[in-house]
Structure formats: C-alpha cells, structure tokens
Amino acid sequence: MRAVIEDHPELPLAYDVLVGWNMVAFKSTTANVPATDYLGGTEYVRIYRFENGAWFFIPGPPYEDPIEPGLGYWVALTEPGTIYP
C-alpha cells in the first residue's frame, strides 16, 4: 500500500540525463508532445517506448512520434544534457 505524503516538494522544472541509456517519463497528464520537442537540448540517438508490456522503437531522426502521458521511454544519449519538460 502506498503512503500518502501531504507535504511533498514540487516536481523539478528540469532534470539531468547522462551518456548512455536513460529511463525518461513524460510529466504531462493531458497532452502529447513530439519527441524532438520534449528532448530538445539533448543529443539522443535512439528512443524506445514501453506500452502494454512491449517495447516499440521510435524511428528518426526526426523523431516526430509523440511522447505520450503515462508511458515510459528508454532514450540513448551521446552527451549528457538536461530535459526541460
């Protein structure tokens, strides 16, 4: 059972990612955003989406497939960077 935390910090406005594979979540609960917009400012080479128990390759560049609320993504980066969702 999850505990409810009443006094919690706000979500960060940005988060750092490292060279190699990073698990990236999408913070919006309502809107899809093209992968290139969401990951802007990072040097990424591969993106996979996890949905319904399976992994799906997002082709690119350009990465026009959307990053969608409620899904997880593996993103391979060639340089460290910061994501500003």
Domain membership of residue 27 (yes or no) is: yes
Domain membership of residue 67 (yes or no) is: yes
State pLDDT tens for residues 21-72: 998 877 777 778 887 777 777 777 788 888 888 888 887 666 677 788 878 8
Q: Residue 50's pLDDT is what?
A: 85
Q: What's the CA gap between 74 and 25, in Å, rounded?
A: 9
Global confidence as pTM? 0.69
Domain membership of residue 65 (yes or no) is: yes
**Per-residue DSSP letter, 40:** T
Q: Residue 8's pLDDT is what?
A: 52
Rg (CA), the chain: 14
Domain limits for position 75:
17-83
Using CA atoms of 40, 42, 44, 48 in order, give the dihedral in degrees to the nearest 10.
Answer: -60
Tally of domains within the chain:
1
Domain membership of residue 42 (yes or no) is: yes
Helices (H) and strands (E) in the chain, counts: 1, 8
